[in-house]
Amino acid sequence: MNEHAASNDAVGGRILIAVDGPAASGKGTIARSLADHFKLPHMDTGALYRAVALNLWRWGGDPKSEFEAVRACDDIGSNGDDPELRSEPVSKIASVISAYPMVRSALFERQRAFAAQPGGAVLDGRDIGTVIAPSADAKLFVTASAQVRAQRRVRELLERGMPARFAEVLLDLKARDERDTGRGAAPLARADDAALLDTSEMSVEQAVAQAVRLVEARLSERHPR
């Protein structure tokens, strides 16, 4: 998991930032940049599900079995830097098992505890602003068109030396979107008070700058000086 701790001296008091969005929208990059900007610890909650998926994959477990997926939730703290966490097989399994209520329940307290740190935190995922941290001081919903997200994912895979075809990646992303938005347990959804950030036509630098502006504006509204 991509977690790091630092004292928050950018803004006085406790700051909790929730960043949600679909796969390859840029939410992870934005969340990490916000954590650096505000000097806050960061958690990529999707990495928790990928760690479970990696366990299940290596055990030869069945992703269609919720029971086996829950068993794979044990001992996921030691493989955070494993390069296979971002592999396509693991990502696909993670998308399937993240729909299981018992898996989400098994990982719920871990995420809530991270969000409850005294100085605050930045968490990114798919249900941060709606389930994990509904009272976050600032919420972003980061998105981009399916075509742009597929292009980004293909580029990412190729850079890692993995084969990737645009048509296949696009179909996979759309299937993940359907699973994420249609699942009964904590579906992907924009919180009512989340600022929308569409990164389709933005560079990384532009998206990060806009994210900082949106968060600072929300913090100013909630904590006027």
> Is residue 187 within 8 Å of residue 29, measured between CB atoms?
no
Domain limits for position 167: 15-215
Region at 43 (left for phi over 0; alpha for psi -120 to 50; beta for the rest):
beta
Residue 197 pairs in a beta bridge with 142
Coil, helix or strand at residue 202? coil
Average pLDDT over residues 156-160: 89
Q: What is the Cα–Cα distance from 109 to 111, expressed in whole angstroms?
A: 5
In a domain, 63, yes or no: yes
> Is residue 80 within 8 Å of residue 47, measured between CB atoms?
yes
Encode pLDDT of 85-134 as tens digits.
Answer: 888 889 889 989 999 999 999 999 999 999 999 999 999 999 999 999 99
In the DSSP assignment, the letter for residue 194 is P
Look up tokens 């009272």; give the residue.
Answer: 135
Q: What is the Cα–Cα distance from 159 to 145, expressed in whole angstroms?
A: 21
For residue 77, what is the domain's CATH number? 3.40.50.300
In a domain, 5, yes or no: no
Residue 20 pairs in a beta bridge with 125, 141
In a domain, 225, yes or no: no
pLDDT at 8 over 50: no
Q: What is the largest CA-CA distance in the chain?
A: 55
In a domain, 223, yes or no: no
Residue type, 222: R
In a domain, 3, yes or no: no
In a domain, 10, yes or no: no
Coil, helix or strand at residue 207? helix
If one counts the domains in the chain, the total is 1
In a domain, 199, yes or no: yes
> Is residue 186 within 8 Å of residue 130, measured between CB atoms?
yes
Encode pLDDT of 24-70 as tens digits.
Answer: 999 999 999 999 999 999 999 999 999 999 999 999 999 999 999 99
pTM score, whole prediction: 0.90
For the record, the structure tokens of 202 come out as 């933005």
Residue 130: the pLDDT is 97
